[in-house]
Chain A
Amino acid sequence: MENDAREQLRILERAEAAPYISYPPTPRWYAPAIGAWAAAFIGAFTWWRENTPLFAASLAGLILLELVFVTWMQRRHGALPMPGRGRPPAEIGRVWSRYFVGLLVVCALVGLAWWRIGVAAGAATAFVTVTAGLAYYEYCYAQAAAEVRKRLG
Chain B
Amino acid sequence: MINGLDPVIHTPKRLAAMAVLANSTTASFRFLRNYLDISDSDLSKHMSALEAAGYVHSAKDGRGRGATTTFKLTRDGQKAYNAHRDALRALLDGPSPEDLPQD
Within 8 A of B (CB), among A1-44: 1-2, 5-9, 11-12, 14-20, 22
Within 8 A of A (CB), among B1-40: 3, 10, 12, 15-28, 30-32, 34-35
Is A88 in contact with B23, judged by CB distance below 8 angstroms? Answer: yes
Q: How many residues of B contact A (CB 8 A)?
A: 28
Within 8 A of B (CB), among A43-90: 74-75, 77-82, 85-88
Is B24 in contact with A12, judged by CB distance below 8 angstroms? Answer: no
Can you offer 19 A-B residue contacts whose CB atoms are under 8 A? A2-B92, A5-B92, A9-B88, A11-B15, A12-B16, A12-B85, A14-B16, A15-B18, A16-B23, A19-B24, A74-B26, A77-B31, A78-B30, A79-B20, A79-B24, A79-B31, A85-B22, A85-B23, A87-B23
Q: A79-B20, A81-B23 are known; give 19 further A-B pairs, CB within 8 A.
A: A5-B91, A9-B89, A12-B15, A12-B85, A12-B88, A15-B17, A17-B23, A18-B20, A19-B24, A20-B23, A22-B35, A77-B31, A78-B31, A79-B24, A79-B31, A80-B24, A80-B26, A82-B24, A86-B23
Q: Which residues of B are at the interface with A, using a C-beta cutoff of 8 A?
A: 3, 10, 12, 15-28, 30-32, 34-35, 68, 85, 88-89, 91-92
